[in-house]
């Protein structure tokens, strides 16, 4: 039985059609013992009086426009089922040569009868875990920090991965190559728009790094071409202005507006890559996990790169599933301050009178102690003059607060700091 025309309007908080029907039938709008507010509850939507104006606008914008004629109800088509092909035994045998530690999967062992993913320079493995979480059977990861056998600069390993890609072993492939010499922030510059492969007369040490990164570019380009020919989704991460996109063969990616900057309100990189198990997407140009904030003057939006692994994992978990119009923090400053004070009290620092404003100076000191260059700290804090940064780096109020807190609070802080990475991994 099709639902009446007034029901859809009522679910959106528009009772006019029902009011007209009840009046035509001889009833009053609200008879004795009858409340239309109950119908809102039945419709799954709270009354308009309990909704904000922006919430009502968003609800109306999501509804399709009503047509002049009412279409007959019809059954929706079933969603397409993703059925990856079965891998030949030869391909499975070649995949089994890689140790178990390099595979990310849901069970104790990967199901190598089906194609999976390839994550190069995987680092902490956030992309691989997200791909498996969104339906990828398994992901083969590589990180040279785990051992020399995962060094992707080896020619034999490069050829093996290219051959597996040609044989259909992977549904998606990508990575974040260590191409530091492609950065425009280097001074003096080692590349230019006229010489993206390297300016002449470089010192021997710098020249060796440029040649190494050029080899990475050539191999990744070959990997990209093979993936394109096989219809496999691929992504390679580098900053938007990186000279990598000016290297021969990457011009198509540089000329087309195919990249997506990930801000704190958009889907994270891992969620976008998971779309490889839906209809195939276009190739993905580099992206940087960033926080975007509107400004009153100057650029309309400012972006801050986040490269601390634990922070990237935490931000990715926090914004996963948020719609574009949903705020990252839906409460006000007063609520934030109450939670801040409650956290300090739990850590035994309630009497130290620390404020959220101290996070800016504390972050600058933390970055300085961990080897971040002065120029990078100044850029992250958007400081015009280096002299201003001196005041932050000479800040000792936090150290004095720890001394006043007592031994129990310092022990508690050390314990929380040691547990923090495991809390992040639990998301």
- Percentage of the chain lying above the pLDDT 90 cut: 19
Give the integer Cα–Cα distance in Å for 227 and 117.
Answer: 12
Helix (H) or strand (E) run with residue 365 in it: helix 358-369
Give the integer Cα–Cα distance in Å for 124 and 314.
Answer: 12
For residue 374, what are the CA distances in angstroms to 50, 76, 300, 365, 380? Answer: 50, 59, 26, 11, 10
Whose structure tokens read 């528009």? 14
Give the integer Cα–Cα distance in Å for 414 and 402.
Answer: 12
Mean residue pLDDT of the chain comes to: 74
Domain boundaries, the chain: 5-52, 89-304, 333-425
Average pLDDT of span 390-416: 71
Closest CA to 170 of 89, 108, 122, 112: 112
More confident residue, 238 or 302: 238
The token duo for 226 is 């093979």
pLDDT for residue 286? 33
Average pLDDT of span 314-319: 79
- Tell me: pLDDT of 324 over 80: no
Long-range contacts of 138-142 (CB under 8 A, 24+ apart): 138/103, 138/104, 138/105, 138/110, 138/111, 138/112, 139/103, 139/104, 139/105, 140/95, 140/98, 140/102, 140/103, 140/116, 140/170, 141/102, 141/103, 141/104, 142/102, 142/175
Give the integer Cα–Cα distance in Å for 238 and 240.
Answer: 6
- Percentage of the chain lying above the pLDDT 70 cut: 69
- Tell me: pLDDT of 261 over 50: no
Helix (H) or strand (E) run with residue 233 in it: strand 233-236
Average pLDDT of span 312-341: 80
Average pLDDT of span 318-323: 77
More confident residue, 322 or 195: 195
Give the integer Cα–Cα distance in Å for 368 and 376.
Answer: 10
For residue 254, what are the CA distances in angstroms to 194, 220, 239? Answer: 15, 15, 12
Give the integer Cα–Cα distance in Å for 247 and 196.
Answer: 6
Q: pTM here?
A: 0.47
pLDDT for residue 164? 95
Average pLDDT of span 104-129: 90
**Which residues are registered as beta bridge partners of 116?**
170
Alpha-carbon Rg for the chain, nearest whole angstrom, is 28
Largest CA distance in the chain: 94
CB contact burial 371-382 (16+ within 10 A = b; e otherwise):
eeeeeebbeebe
Whose structure tokens read 């926080």? 291
- Tell me: pLDDT of 226 over 50: yes
- Tell me: pLDDT of 287 over 60: no
pLDDT for residue 255? 53
Give the integer Cα–Cα distance in Å for 248 and 406.
Answer: 60
pLDDT for residue 62? 58
Residues written for the chain: 427
- Tell me: pLDDT of 317 over 90: no
Helix (H) or strand (E) run with residue 408 in it: helix 407-425
Q: Summarize pLDDT for 31-79 with one digit per residue, the tens.
A: 444 555 454 444 444 444 444 556 555 666 655 554 444 444 444 444 4
- Say if residues 139 and 105 touch (Cβ distance below 8 Å): yes
- Range picked from 146-160, 256-270, 371-385 for highest mean pLDDT: 146-160
DSSP 270: H
Phi, psi of 337 (to 5 degrees): -65, -40
pLDDT for residue 142? 93
- Say if residues 130 and 271 touch (Cβ distance below 8 Å): yes
- Beta-carbon contacts of 30 under 8 Å, excluding residues fewer than 6 positions away, are 36
* Residue 28 banded pLDDT, cuts 50, 70, 90: low
pLDDT for residue 298? 54
Q: How remote is the C-alpha of 211 from its chain's centroid? A: 31
Whose structure tokens read 């199901």? 111
């Amino acid at each position: 039985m099709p639902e009446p025309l007034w029901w859809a309007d009522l679910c959106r908080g528009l009772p006019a059609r029902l009011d007209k029907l009840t009046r035509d039938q001889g009833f009053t709008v609200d008879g004795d013992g009858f409340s239309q507010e109950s119908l809102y509850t039945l419709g799954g939507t709270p009354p308009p009086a309990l909704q904000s104006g922006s919430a009502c606008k968003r609800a109306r914008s999501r509804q399709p426009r009503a047509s002049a004629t009412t279409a007959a109800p019809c059954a929706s088509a079933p969603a397409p089922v993703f059925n990856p092909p079965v891998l030949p035994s030869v391909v499975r045998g070649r995949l089994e040569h890689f140790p178990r530690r390099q595979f990310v999967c849901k069970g104790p062992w990967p199901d190598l009868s089906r194609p999976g993913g390839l994550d190069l320079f995987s680092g902490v493995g956030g992309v691989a875990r997200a791909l498996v979480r969104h339906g990828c059977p398994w992901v083969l990861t590589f990180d040279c920090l785990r051992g020399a056998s995962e060094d992707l600069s080896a020619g034999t390993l490069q050829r093996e991965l290219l051959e597996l890609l040609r044989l259909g072993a992977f549904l998606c492939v990508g990575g974040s190559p260590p191409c530091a010499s492609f950065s425009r922030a280097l001074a003096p510059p080692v590349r230019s728009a006229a010489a993206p492969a390297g300016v002449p007369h470089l010192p021997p040490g710098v020249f060796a790094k440029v040649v190494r990164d050029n080899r990475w570019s050539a191999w990744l380009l070959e990997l990209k071409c093979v993936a394109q020919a096989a219809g496999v989704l691929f992504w390679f991460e580098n900053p938007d202005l990186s000279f990598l996109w000016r290297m021969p063969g990457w011009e198509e990616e540089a000329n087309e507006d195919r990249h997506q900057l990930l801000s704190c309100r958009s889907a994270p990189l891992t969620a976008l890559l998971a779309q490889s198990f839906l209809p195939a997407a276009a190739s993905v140009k580099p992206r940087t996990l960033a926080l975007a904030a509107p400004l009153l003057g100057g650029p309309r939006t400012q972006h801050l790169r986040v490269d601390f692994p634990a922070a990237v994992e935490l931000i990715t978990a926090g914004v996963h599933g948020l719609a574009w119009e949903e705020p990252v923090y839906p409460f006000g400053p007063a609520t934030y301050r109450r939670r801040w004070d409650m956290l300090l009290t739990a850590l035994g620092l309630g009497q130290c009178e620390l404020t959220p404003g101290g996070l800016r100076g504390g972050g600058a000191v933390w970055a300085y102690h961990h080897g971040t260059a002065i120029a990078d700290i100044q850029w992250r804090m958007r400081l015009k003059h280096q002299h201003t940064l001196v005041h932050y780096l000479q800040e000792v109020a936090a150290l004095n607060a720890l001394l006043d807190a007592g031994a129990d609070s310092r022990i508690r802080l050390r314990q929380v700091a040691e547990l923090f990475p495991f809390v992040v991994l639990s998301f």
